[in-house]
Every structure is written in structure tokens, then in C-alpha cells.
Amino acid sequence: NAGVTQTPKFQVLKTGQSMTLQCAQDMNHNSMYWYRQDPGMGLRLIYYSASEGTTDKGEVPNGYNVSRLNKREFSLRLESAAPSQTSVYFCASNLRTQGAPGANVLTFGAGSRLTVL
């Protein structure tokens, strides 16, 4: 079982460049999330998608856009990268169905380390 797959694992960008982080899950989960992890700040939610066709802002959405391409895929785009976006990005997914076994337990991808120079 692949679980949650993120690409790329590492990326170096120059300020102002754009890029898209890809995420796919094969667990038939309804909800998908993008978090960023910075030292001393834990994981902060950037955007999430509660179901196919919907997306909502999280705690730190500025400078990012997302697309829920289908039930499996949820991409994160940086239109004009800034050094403040240097971080480790995690995609995650979970079951939406309330009361289902394991509901709300996030399964994470391996992370994508992004450096913006």
C-alpha cells in the first residue's frame, strides 16, 4: 500500500519562481490537507479539502493555491516563491465519515523539503 505519495521530495527555488507540489492518496479518503512544518512551530495547516470539489483556507494560506484534481489528488502551488516559504511540506488525508473506525486519523506523506533562495 502506497498510502500518501508526495513529489518532489526536495526542491530548491529562486525567489519569484513558481512550482507545484503534488500529492496523491490511494486509500479512498475523502479529506486531504497540506501542512507546513517549521522549527518550533509544529505543523500549520495551509489548505484543506473536505471532499472532492471543495477547498478551504487553513491557518497560513497566503502565497499558496491548491487544486483538488479528483478524489485522489490534491496539489499545492506556489505562484511566486518567497524565502519565508522555505519549509517542509506535508500532505495528509483522512476519512470523512464520522464514527468510522480510524476516522479523523491523518495519514501523512513523507514530506517535501522546499528551499527558496
Partner 1 sequence: AQKVTQAQTEISVVEKEDVTLDCVYETRDTTYYLFWYKQPPSGELVFLIRRNSFDEQNEISGRYSWNFQKSTSSFNFTITASQVVDSAVYFCALSDMEYGNKLVFGAGTILRVKS
Residue numbers of the site for partner 1 (CB under 8 A)? 30-31, 33, 35, 40-45, 48-51, 58, 88, 90, 92, 96-98, 102, 104-108, 110-111
Residue 76 CA to residue 65 CA, distance in Å, equals 6
Q: What is the DSSP letter of 84?
A: G
Least CB distance from residue 98 to partner 1, whole Å? 6
Least CB distance from residue 110 to partner 1, whole Å? 6
Nearer to partner 1, 63 or 108 (CB): 108
- Enumerate residues 6+ apart whose C-beta is below 8 A from 62: none
Residue 62 CA to residue 46 CA, distance in Å, equals 8
Nearer to partner 1, 58 or 63 (CB): 58
Least CB distance from residue 27 to partner 1, whole Å? 13
Nearer to partner 1, 15 or 104 (CB): 104
- Enumerate residues 6+ apart whose C-beta is below 8 A from 42: none
